[in-house]
Amino acid sequence: MNRRRERGAALAEVSILLPFLILLGLGLTEIGFLVADHLAVASAAREGARIGAAAGNFDIGTQTADDIILRSVEQAACSMPFGSLTKVSVYAADTSGGVANPSTQLNEYVPGGGGLNCAPTGPTGMVCSNGCPWEPGTRSVTIGSLADLGVRVDFQHISVTGAIPLPTINWFETAVMRIQPAITS
């Protein structure tokens, strides 16, 4: 008789604890997806800043330093399966890493109507949304007057599991690097 009562008590305990354990597991899964997206965005910002610093004032015909930066960030964002890229900002950074002059040294790009171009080649799917006043050809690559280039990548993470009503999370990552001096021969 005691065994039946013990089995019944164990079943009651499991039925009470199981929903909490499932909810905990789904919550941890959701946090894992968010962390994966965040790491991809942090990598995209660093890669964009690194490439932008090396590209300097590159501006040849239809390809500029910003195009190279955007292509790099876009490729990293394409590997972000649980979030979406919402904006990329390329700017001259001040000493604290913020935008030095938002009206003249800030270029903002958003995904175009066709979305991101995740193919390894071709033009970027990003379009300028603020007139892009900081022309890549005007960036100083002279020793003594080198600018710090910042890249900010904004993204949106939407709940993956759907079982937990989490809000959409908007997050960003920023990376700043000194523009490399031009090599003269």
Residue 183 lies in a domain: no
- pLDDT tens digits for the chain (185 residues)? 566 666 677 788 888 999 999 888 888 888 888 888 889 899 999 999 999 999 999 988 788 999 999 999 998 888 887 888 999 999 999 999 999 999 999 999 999 888 888 887 888 899 999 999 999 999 989 888 898 999 999 999 888 877 667 778 898 999 999 999 977 65
Amino acid identity, position 14: V
Q: Which residues pair with 174 in a beta bridge?
A: 152
Task: Provide the whole-model pTM.
Answer: 0.85
| pLDDT at res. 184 | 62
Task: Kindly state the helix (H) or strand (E) to which residue 145 belongs, with its residue range.
Answer: none
- Per-residue pLDDT, 6: 67
Count of domains observed in the chain: 1
Q: Where are the beta strands (DSSP E) in 9-82?
A: 59-60, 63-64
Instruction: Looking at 56-153, list the stretches that DSSP marks H as alpha helix, in order from N- to C-terminal side.
Output: 65-77
**Which pLDDT score is estimated for 59?**
86
Residue 117 DSSP symbol: -
User: CA-CA distance, 18 to 28, in Å (whole number)?
Assistant: 15
pLDDT of residue 175: 97
Q: Is 184 inside any structural domain? A: no
153: containing domain: 2-178
Residue 179 has a pLDDT of 95
In a domain, 185, yes or no: no
Instruction: Write down the pLDDT at residue 101.
Output: 95
